[in-house]
Structure formats: structure tokens, C-alpha cells
A and B are shown apart, each in its own frame.
Chain A
Amino acid sequence: MIRKFLIIISSIIIATTVYSQTKDDDILYNKLSQTASFYTVNKQYLNDTSDCSSAEIVASYLNDKTDGDFLVYQGKNHYESRISGSGVKDYGKYGILNGKCFYANGKDRGISWNAMRFPELYLPYIITDSTGGDSSFETYCAQGGYAKKSGNWHFGFDFSFLGEQAYRLTDPRVLNNTTFLTFKLSSGKVFNNGNALMFSGYYMRNKQYLHDRYWRPGEQQRFFVIYGFGLYDTKESVVAFGVSRMYYINNAGAEISFLSSENKRFTIKGILNYDYKKMYTEESDIMQLYNTHTHTISPSMSVAYHGRGFDIKLYSFTDILNRKGYENILEKYITDEANSTYDYRKIADEQNYKFSNIISNNSLRFALFIGDNEIGFELGAIVLCRKETNSKYAYKIKNLNVTPDFKTDFCFKTPNHKQRFDIGFKYSRQISVKNNYDVEIKNNAIPHVDFQTCFAPYAYFSAEYDAFNAEFEYVYSFQKFSIGTRVNGFIVSGNRLSDVEYTKTVGYDSVCPMISKQADKHNEKYINLSVFVKF
């Protein structure tokens, strides 16, 4: 499920990577291609004067299914079908145009205690009914960029839009309209010594409208306005026919990247990214109850040595995210005495909630080239540290996991270069190093929902499992185009730690799909199949 989220977010923020992702592509290099100016920088950097125009049409299907513990706000099963088209058109001195668009539809099954889409962006301030269910969705995305060279400088402009409509066809029926609009400016310079430096800055605006309402006449239920650790606004969490809410995120970031000359045996590539998000909520009566400020720093680096017939690369990518949540204090005042009409105004706010999430992915890769073929071995580890606190009630949750992995891959091309096979296997094991759950709701006058909204995500991350990942790609080239297929899948098998169980009584009994109180299995299966045509 984490993978699903990363896929979605990457398609929002990241501009088109037109070429198929093969294992010998430098991951950092691909990340750089998120900006339009990359294409013109790249041509000069690689001293490539040829027309880089290309296009690709891809049809894909993915399915991700869990068994046992799952992230309740994301659901138990996600599947989608997608068709996408992308292309780069090189207009020579007029610049380079790139674009991509896709349409996808699918379903998330078994969502629980969350009526939002992309909940990670808004946590802990989500809104929910206590029924849950399946959410169907359709997604539209368009991205475009234009870049032009001026001397040794390169300038680019990118635009992307992703919009999703999600809905539930059982009561209470949820409708989510979510959009992400991104603008990005980028520039780069290739120095005489072959090194390149690139800068980019972006702004993203997100809006999510949520409408959750009963279709069945006369039916009412409690809708929870949650603010973390199982806490919810008791006044706003009303028993009603339905609720609606608007979420807004203003997001800005900047990135600097460096590429050393490709002509040397020893190369260094590095990216430093800073990202800031401000999220705020708005209720249907225009009260703004909550907001968050999220800062993310993402340093990434790749050091490589290109020997005769072999490569050695050391990668390191890290994301450090810190979020603070603010709860507004509002005052009710009379606006019209004759009609007993009242309104609200904000008088203060308080900051209690904090969340930090650090993911660091480090690996060492050795690749051997035999003719046109390549065999690679990779050894690495992912470190995940997530921590949530509420200073007002002294609540704290922490998970620290380490996932060492080993990967091998193989690329084979037929002598006439008409066919290419890529095969890769990866094994990893998540080890829980440290976990801590310190949440005790003391107010017994209200139903407790900490198990559903707080313990459940904690339990998901408090697991140890083995994961096996396999990738396969086959491409057949014709004179003017090539066709191919790609398969990517993984299987996760493990268990929640035996001491991670909920020993209290679960409050607010509901029909939502839910994890068990006691330790349970932690299994997941994922497959992504695609066929493509490249021009």
C-alpha cells in the first residue's frame, strides 16, 4: 500500500520519464528528468546532437492486495487500469516539448475510518464515517513541459495537473474531488569541464472536496472529525445525514542538482530538495478548524566508478519529513439577535501534534558488462523511522524498521538488437528495531476510536516480513517502432510483532473492515502488468 501511494504521488509531482525504466538507468538521472530543462541540458551534457523525439503509449493493470494487517485508511485492496501516452518532440533551435497524459480507473476496497483520498497528505486531520467501504475512482492526468537552450544556459517550464474523482456506491456515499496543480520552473548550465548544475522551483496547489451523505431517506450516523491519536472534535462530529469539507494544500519547493562530467571514470551526481506544504481544512459552515505545516528535505547522491567492463555505484536517497499540526480556537458570536443568528471567528490556535518520518534508502551496485549484455548485483538497506506525538496529552507512537535487501538483474539483447530481455529479482526482509505505543485516552465520556485511527497504523508498521520482488521486461523492435511488455510484482509474507496487541475494549463498534486486536499476519501481493508501443 505504501507503494501505491508512492506511485500516485510520483505521478503528481514528477514530470514525464519518457523512456522505459530499465535497470541500467541511473535512478538519480531519472529523477532529474522531472524538469523540462533536463532534456536540453541532457543533450548538451551527453554531447548529443540527434533528434531526441520519441513517444510511448502504455496500457497497464495493477493489483495490490493485503491479507491480515493493512493500513486501514488506504484499504485492503487496490486495483486500477490505466492508459497513458507520452512523448518528447525536439524542435531543434525552437526547443523541446514534452508531454504526458493518462486516464486510469479502479477501486480501493475495504477502506476503513477514512473518507478521504490521499489521506497521508492531510493526516491527522481526516474526516470519516464509521462504515467504510469500497471507493471507486477515475484519474485524469496531463503533464507538459517546454525547454529552450540559450548559450550554455537552459530554461524550462513544466505544468502538470492530476485530478481524481472517487466515489462510494453504498451508504453513506462519499464523493471526493481531488486535484493537484503544479507549476515548475527550471534552469541548468553545462560547464566547459562537462559538469552540469541544475536548479528548479515549483508550486503545487491541492484541493480536495469531500461530500459524504446518506442516500437512504431518514438515515443518520455519526461523522467523525478526527485530529490524531483517536481524538476527534466532539462538537463537529455530529450525528447527521451527511457532512462536507474542503481541504487545501499550498506546496512549494526548490531543488538543486549537480552532475559531474560523464566522460570521467569517476562520476558524482547529487540532488538536494526542499519541500514545504501548508494544509488547511474548511468545514461546510466555513470554519477553518485545522492546519498543518510540513517540511521535507530530500538529499540524494550517487557515486559511481566506471571500469572496463564493469560499474560500481553507491546510491543514497533520504527523505526527512516533519509535520506540525495546529488546532484553531474559535469563538461563537451573535450576528442577528432578532433571528438568533450566530457566526464564528478565530481567536487563537494551539500546536500539539507533531509527526516525523525519515526514509533512507542506501545501496551498492556492481554491474558487469559482457558484450551488449549486463548482469548486476545490488546490496542495500532501507531505514524507516516514523514518530507521532501529541504534547498536550503526552501521546507518542514510534516505529523504527530496517529492511536490508539483495537484488540481481540481467539484461540480454539479441545480436541484431531486435529483442531485449530484462529480468530482475530482489529479496528483502523488514526488521522492526524499535516500536513504542504510548496512547491512553482518558476521557471516558465519549466513545474511543484510538484503536481504529491510531493503533491500526502503528500495528501495520510494527511487523517483520520477507519480501520477494521480480521484474521482467521484453521489447521487440521494428523499423519505426517497438512493442514490449513489462511485469513487476512482489510478495510480502510476515507477521505483526507478537507483543503489539490492543488490550483495551474497542470503542464505537462499527461494520468497518478492521485489523484484529491481537498480532496477525502481514501479507501483501502486488502485480503490475503493462504493454507498450514506443515510437
Chain B
Amino acid sequence: MVFIVFECASQNCNFNIKGVIKTEDGFAGFATVGIEDLNIYTMADEGGRFELRRIPCGNHKLLVKRMGLTDKYIDINLINKDLNLEIEMQTATFKLERVEVMAKRHKADKLEIGETAIEYLQPVSLADLAVLLPGNVYSENPMTQFNLNSSRQVGSDKNTSLGIAVTSDGVPQTSDGVRIQMVGITENSYSGGGDSQIKARTGINSGTDMRYISTDHVQSVEVNRGISSSKYGNMSAGQIIVNSKYGVSPLRVRAKIDLKNKLIYAGKGFSLGKKAGDLHIGTDYLYSYDDIREEMEKFTRITAQAYYNNKVNFNSGYSLDLDFKLAQTISVNKMKKDELTYEYNETYKADYNKTDLMLKAKLNFNLPWIENISLISSLNRVNDLIDRHYCVITGNPKSMPLSYSEGENEGYYLPTMYYSDFYIENIPINFYTQLNIKSRLELAQNLNLTLEYGADFSSSKNRGGGAVIKDEKLPPFPSDNSYMRPQKNYEIPAIETGAAYIQSSLLYKPTENQKAKIDFGYRFTQMMNLESDYALYHKILCEPRLNASYTIGKTINHTVRLGYGTENKLPTMDYLYPEKIYKDFWVLNAYTNNPENRHLITYTKIFDATNKDIRENKNQKFEVGYDLNINNFEISLTAFYEKSESGYDYFKFYQAVTYPYFSELKPDVDISGRRPDKEDYVEDKFSEFASYSQVQNSKKVIKRGIEYRIISPKVSVLETNVEINGAYYYTIYGSSLPYYFYPGGRIGNNMYPYVGIYNLDEKNKQGRLNTNFWFNTHIPKFRMVFTNFFQFIWIQTKQYSDNFEGIYKKIPYEYIDFENQKHEVTPEIAQRINDLNDTQWSQLRRQSTVLSYAKETKPVYMMWNIKVTKEFGDNAKLSFFVDGILDIHPQYASKTSARTKREWSNPFFGMELILNIAKNREK
């Protein structure tokens, strides 16, 4: 059957396109040449020569692009012979008629932000580019703390952030091998308190930290929030593809200063000689702060990258594209001098050092059954060390055990003030390799099939020491008698994942004015190196993904799109291997002023936070879209629905603990002047509830909405391009597990005896409708671009709801007693819970006010950002920007607080200078 297909393919009308690409300075070596519709791309050699083989007859749009040059589209008509082209490309300057400073739709399902747009946006990190995406709203993206990444939603959540995959030059950037298990920092210890500095800066279990990705080394970025190709996995919420700069370029220096960032970059691309390829190197330095008054919160980043590329042509007609990348990211954040740091004598040192190696080889055969084979391999090592000298002040002497086993243990009292020294060391070593094979077949006239299939393997092994308290007798966060005895990170098994995929792309063009395309793929993933009692052990996860589109029309062009897919995010090392929680209870607590006469005995209960039933977080996506293009006037609409009910969350459980208790002295016993012992007290039993957190697949996130984008052709009178984009997003955040509530406190001499379990089905519902108006005025005569950005938030709502909405009095459906037995709440008990005179049962009644269910609706608000960039010759560009130069935030009556409110916003401004040290082409 396959041979028949190949045979058919060879009989169809196919020709080659050859050519040479030139610039004002000579030849555009290593430019990318391709036909988007057919998903055919090749790289020109160092002399700018290229060849695309076996191109089906018909009309095509040839795309040529290279760093520093303006993308060029050429209409070609392949009828009955090979084509030989000579293509002239121009340096991207503002004197040209066309300057692309916005994201453009690419391959129907992705938005691509090109080099000029990135330069024009003046980003300091990848997160800054999000403002170009429909539905996203402007934000300042502070660099001093980890910011959750979001996708198609109002607000953000950890599971979405974790599920957004960032792929750099084909290699997924993962942080799944990071593990921070320490009381006061990790989520399975008590919430609130702890080390806010570390918590804010480390995005544990929250995905890629965009702050470490410098855009100065990036040539283009593609964003796909819909259904991704099955070539990519271990993600659930979207994909950001980063393509590095490569090739020859003049020395480029970029300096940016604004209210929060000071950045300098220098980079240049060299030719290493005939047939030796090109090398592009660059480095940047960023110094950033969020609140300039806060000496503790400063962020320093140094990145450097060297990218080598070459093309080797063999006599056989085959060719080999080679890419090699070495990247280094360093961030050193030491506590700065400040009157308070002197006063408390604390220190905070955070050293981050990442070395990234990537090798990519693509062997082009240009045969029907095998177009090319590519192999991508990557190895990176991150050294992430947080070192803390931390001042602990406790109001009263805390007890501290040092046991590693359950039961009674001797303990001791902590001083009321001491310094705790600890460090958290993560050294994840990530390896990734992927083998891809691409076949391209012409099944019939106008019917082309592109097949991509392959397999990948990834491994994350953490070689770090984990959380290490230098003196275990001086814990940094002793407040609620919870402790961990952290296991070294290097003792934790590596996370290993293997996957295979097949992705087909079927293109049918029955006439010049019609095009149907179906992209269908299937991905099979298995987590390896797991113990056999994990639910994911030997489990093969399947992810079907489909994108289909149909286009009709020539001058008026309609496209209908449809997509469905499943994407899975696998659990991280931190989720798979949490530490046990040691909870300590006082058996004997005899504290006296004389340390020699003190005696502390504790009862230790160990809770295993590991959930071996943990599964992947599955996100199902569905979207439909419609695009209209009339003479470069474009309208695009996309409606989507995403449902994830298995997001990761540390869920708080309660368990009753009963232990021996020695509190009441026996009659006639005198302990004055000596160390008391258990024998001096009446033996008793004491019961109480202890809470512990365990990761569950319990978080629910449901996203739905409509995104829209309207692009007008240039209004020549005003020299202005207009883009209007935005979205209506409606997002529901919830949990699939019931709510546990323990009132706490005592009844008589005993602890309160019940924990209530409530079927709340809590939901936080948020809605937002926004429109962003972009007016990009480009005046080639003045070599100037002036951007006016108006952001309107028309609707912004937030509402909490649960199963008791309108009742305001919540009663449990079950409760747990001190025997750890669950009991149903019978009508009789329900009656007692509702009876306020019943001091015991009524404590399980949770009461809400009308205000807590009220729908908070904010009024329409507007924000105006401007940016002016003036180009001086071919060598310099100076930009000035002000975000929020004017804003309208009306006063409104808040329904949840019953007060008049207004949101204040402050303008954010800065300037940027770019110098291209090269020959001036200006005549």
C-alpha cells in the first residue's frame, strides 16, 4: 500500500525551485526559505543559494527570512519547469515602506512575533511579549519575583503556569526536576508565614521562569494557545516556541533604562570563513528592581549565548544543516546594604547558574518517502543555590524534637531568638533528545500529505543537596511544630519520560481559491523510572490532537478552523517525592527558668505526604475559528473551551491523633528544684486533630471565551496601521474535593472533637472583556514609528459561589471523630448544628455574609500607552515609551466591600538606545 502511494507520488507534477538570495552587502547566507502551506522549508547555504525540491505545481507563496532583513513574500507559479530565482532582500530599517511591529498569524494556528516586533517592544524577558496576544492585558511583569504564566484566562493559576511549555530551538525548557521540600517554603507545610522572600522568588511547580529567558538572543517567538502539534508534549496549557538569533549581523548594542530595569546588550554574528559556517554571539546584563526602596528585592541577570550554524552540501544531493548552541544564564542576588538588613543581620544569597548545550542536525534527503531526518539533543545543568542567614524570633519557647521515628521522644526548648542558617540546593541536570523523520507525499494532484514521526526521551536528575538546615536544632520556621527531615535531592530518582508521536498534515487544494487542511497527530507518553506502586507506572498516556481548516475565496478569503486535542502535564519531582511531615505533640512539657530542670517529651506522628495515585493533569481543548481577509483587511475570531479537572494541588487533610499526656502532678509530688519525669504526673490520654497536606489531582480550571483580532491595511493618509484585538474570557477556578473544616479550640479540657466535611464545590468565577487598540504610525520619510496603544477593559467581574449560595449557612455532610471514623450528618445532627445553643455541634456551622457571594463588577477602564522610535541613519534608534500615560479608572461602589473604590495606576516609562555598528547605507 505504502509503495503504491509512493509510486503515485512520483508520477505527479513536481518541480524544483532554485535561487540565490542577495542583500545590499552581498549574499544572504543561511536565510530560511519555505512555503508555509506545504510546510516545506530549507536553509540557504553561506552563499545564499537554496533549492526546494519536489514542489507541486501551482501557485505558491514563497517566504524568505533572515535575521536583520525584512521578511519577503514572493508569489510563484510553478507550471511545467524548474524555477530559478534571484531574490533581493532589504535590511530592516524604518525607511522601508513596511515595518512589522505586531504579532502575525503563522501557519494558521500560531502567532509569530518577529525580530522587528521584538525589538520594537523593548522587552527584558519573554513575559513582556504577551501584550501582543489577543486577550492579554498590559502588565509590568516585575522581575524580582516569579510571575505565574497565564493562557486564555482571567487571572492565573499554578497549573496553567506549569502547563505552558517553552521550547527553545526545539528543546523543551523544563523545571520539573526542581524540588524544594522544607517547612515554611514548600506548599505541603503550613500556609502563611514562612520565608516570603524565597516563596516569592522561586516558582516551584509553576513552570518556566520567564525572567531567565532574555529576548536579546531571540530572533522570533511563536505562541500557540490552541492545540499544539503532537511533536510536543508534557504540557497542558499552551506553547511558546523561541527561535534563537543566528547568522551574520553587525555589532549591535542595546541599552535600556526604565523605572525598574537597566539593561545592556551587545551581540554580533560572524562568518567563520568559507564553508565554516556562522557564529552569532551575544551577551546581556540586566539589573532590575520592583520597588526601588526595597534593597532585598533586586534581580541581576547575565546571559550569554553562542549559536553556530552551517550547511554542508554533499555531492549526492543530500545536505546537512548543523546547529550548535551554548548558552549561559547567571543570576546573582545577594542581600544589599540597607538599614534594616544591618539591624537584623540577615543575609539572603541566591545564585542561579544555567549552562545549556544544544545540538541539532538535520539531514536533508529530499526523497518522497523521507524528506529529512533530524536529531535534536540537549543537555543543561542548573546550579540553583539559596543561602540564608535567618533571624528567628519566637514569642515563647518552642519545643523541638529530633526524632526520626513515630512515638515518644525526648525534646528540647528552642531559644526565643536565634539565627538559623540553611540553604536550598537544586542542581537539575536535564537531558533531552528527539529524533524526527519527515516524509512528504503528493497523494494525488492537489493533495499533499506531510508526515512527521519520531520519538523523544527526557530525563531530569537533581544532583543538589536539597534543603539543608546547617544546625537541625535551630530550625528556621518552628511555629506550628511541623518539621521535615529532608531527603537529599540527589537521592531522589530521576524523572524520565519517553514518548513517540506521529503528526500528519493533509493539504487539499482543489482549485486556486479553495484549500482544506487537516493536521492530525497522536502522541504516546510514558513516565519511566517510577516505582511500581505509582499509578503512572507503565502507564501509556495518549494525546490525540486535531486541527482542521477550510479556506475559500481569493480577494475575499474565508477560513473556518476547528481544533480538538488533549494535552497532559506530568507531575514534577516535587509533587512525586514530597517529604514526610513530622508533627510533634507535647506529652510532657515542664518548662522552668532553670534549664537544668526542664523536661520535654514529645509524641511524634509522621504523615506521608506522598500520593502514589497521582496522575497527569489532563486538559481537553476545543476551539473553532473564523478568519476573513479582504485585501489585507483581516478579521479573526476564535472561540475556545478548555477543561482541566485534575490539576495539582496540595490538599489539607485532618487526622486524629491520640497520645499519652502528662500534665497533672500526682498528689504529694514535689518537683521543685529538680527535673520532673513522667512518673511525677498522672498518666492521661489526649486526642486532637493534626492537619497535613498531600498533593492531589483536585484543581479544576475551566476556561472559555472568544478571541478576536481585526487588522486594517495601512491608512495611507495617516501612515498608520490599526490593529484591534481582545477577548472575552470566562474562567472558573474550583476544586473537585470536599472542603475540610476544623473549628479548633477546646471544649472543657479536651480539644474540639470533630472535623466537618462540606460539599461546597467552591468556584471562583471571573470574567473579562477587553479590547486593545494599536495604532502604529510609521512615517518612512521621518524614519519614525509612533505607537498609540489603548486598552479598554469593558467588563471585569469576579464572583465566589458554592453549593450554599443564597443559604449562607453551611453544614457538613460528613464529619470525622477522634477515632478517625467518618460519619454521615443525619437530620438530627444537622438540626443540632443549626442550633446556636448547642455549643459543640454549632461550631461546625459555617456562615457567610451576603457580601461574600456578591458579584464584584468593575467599571470600564482605559489605559493609554505610547511609544516613539526614531531611527538615525542605519546605525541608531532611540525610543521613548510611557505606559499608562493617561488612564481612566472611574470610582465604583464595590459590592463585596460596600465601599467606594478606585484603582490607582502609575505611569511606567523609560527609554532605549540601539546602535548597529556597521557601514551606513543611507544615501
Contact = CB atoms under 8 A, between A and B. Distances in A.
Interface string A66-77: 000000000000
A339 B849 contact: yes
Contacts of A103: 257, 911
A101 B898 contact: no
Given A168-B293, A181-B885, A338-B850, A140 B899 contact: no
A207 B907 contact: yes
B911 A246 contact: no
B592 interface: no
A26 B719 CA distance: 38
Contacts of A138: 259
A181 B864 CA distance: 12
A25 to B, nearest CB: 27
Interface in B97-148: none
B900 A175 contact: no
A153 interface: no
B705 to A, nearest CB: 31
Interface size class, chain B: 35 or more
Contacts of A167: 292-293
Interface string B880-907: 1010011000010100011111101011
Given A168-B293, A205-B886, A179 B907 contact: yes
A179 B339 CA distance: 29
B851 interface: yes
Contact of B340 (A85, A91, A216): A216
Contacts of A448: none
A175 B339 contact: no
B898 A336 contact: yes
Given A169-B295, A177-B906, A246-B904, A99 B898 contact: no
A265 to B, nearest CB: 40
A142 interface: yes
Nearest to B259: A165
B257 A175 contact: no
A273 to B, nearest CB: 24
A246 B257 CA distance: 25
A228 interface: no
Contacts of A207: 906-907
Contacts of B898: 335-336, 339, 341, 343
Interface string B291-331: 11111000000000000000000000000000000000000
**Main secondary structure on B side of the interface with A:** mixed
B293 A215 contact: yes
A524 to B, nearest CB: 29
Nearest to B260: A165
A170 interface: yes
Nearest to A169: B293
Contacts of B907: 163, 177, 179, 207
Nearest to A336: B898
A161 B891 contact: no
Contacts of A286: 891, 900-902
Given A103-B257, A335-B898, A344-B900, A161 B909 contact: yes
Contacts of B781: 91, 94
A97 interface: yes
Contacts of B291: 175
Given A103-B257, A163-B882, A341 B897 contact: yes
A140 B293 contact: no
A140 B782 contact: no
Interface string B36-59: 000000000000000000000000
Interface in B261-313: 291-295
A97 B293 contact: no
A167 B259 CA distance: 12
Interface in B843-897: 849-851, 868, 870, 878, 880, 882, 885-886, 891, 893, 897
B288 to A, nearest CB: 14
Nearest to A140: B909
B338 interface: yes
A395 interface: no
A168 B295 CA distance: 11
B897 A140 contact: no
Contact of A170 (B339, B851, B868, B878): B339
Nearest to A181: B885
Interface string A157-169: 0000101010111
A181 B886 contact: yes
Contacts of A282: 902
A171 interface: yes
A144 interface: yes
Contacts of A169: 293, 295, 338-339
Contacts of A285: 899
A99 B781 CA distance: 16
A85 B870 CA distance: 13
A202 to B, nearest CB: 15
Interface string B759-785: 000000000000000000000011010
Interface size class, chain A: 35 or more
A450 B556 CA distance: 75
Contact of B870 (A99, A161, A163): A99
Contact of B868 (A144, A171, A177, A338): A144
Nearest to B343: A216
A209 B904 CA distance: 9
Contacts of A269: none
B910 interface: yes
Nearest to B913: A85
Interface in B142-162: none
Contacts of A343: 898-900
Contacts of B893: 335
A173 B293 contact: yes
B708 to A, nearest CB: 30
Interface in B908-923: 909-911
A81 to B, nearest CB: 13
Contacts of B911: 101, 103, 140, 142
Contacts of A335: 893, 898-899
A205 B885 CA distance: 10
A93 to B, nearest CB: 11
A140 B901 CA distance: 31
A142 B868 contact: yes
B904 A336 contact: no
A181 B883 CA distance: 12
Given A142-B880, A209-B906, A336-B898, A91 B782 contact: yes
B909 A179 contact: yes
A338 B808 CA distance: 14
A44 B857 CA distance: 57
Interface string A113-148: 000000000000000000000000010101010000
Interface in A478-497: none
Contacts of B295: 169
Contacts of A246: 904
B881 to A, nearest CB: 9
Nearest to A171: B339
Contact of A161 (B882, B901, B904): B882
Leading 7 A-B pairs by shortest Cβ distance: A336-B898, A142-B880, A335-B898, A341-B898, A173-B293, A177-B906, A163-B909
Given A173-B293, A209-B906, 11 more contacts: A101-B911, A142-B911, A161-B885, A161-B909, A163-B909, A175-B292, A177-B259, A244-B904, A246-B904, A336-B851, A338-B850
Interface of A: 85, 89, 91, 94, 97, 99, 101, 103, 138, 140, 142, 144, 161, 163, 165, 167-171, 173, 175, 177, 179, 181, 205, 207, 209, 215-216, 244, 246, 282, 285-286, 335-336, 338-339, 341-344
Interface of B: 257-259, 291-295, 338-340, 343, 781-782, 784, 849-851, 868, 870, 878, 880, 882, 885-886, 891, 893, 897-902, 904, 906-907, 909-911
12 contacts: A85-B878, A97-B782, A163-B259, A163-B907, A163-B909, A170-B339, A175-B291, A181-B885, A205-B886, A246-B904, A286-B901, A341-B897
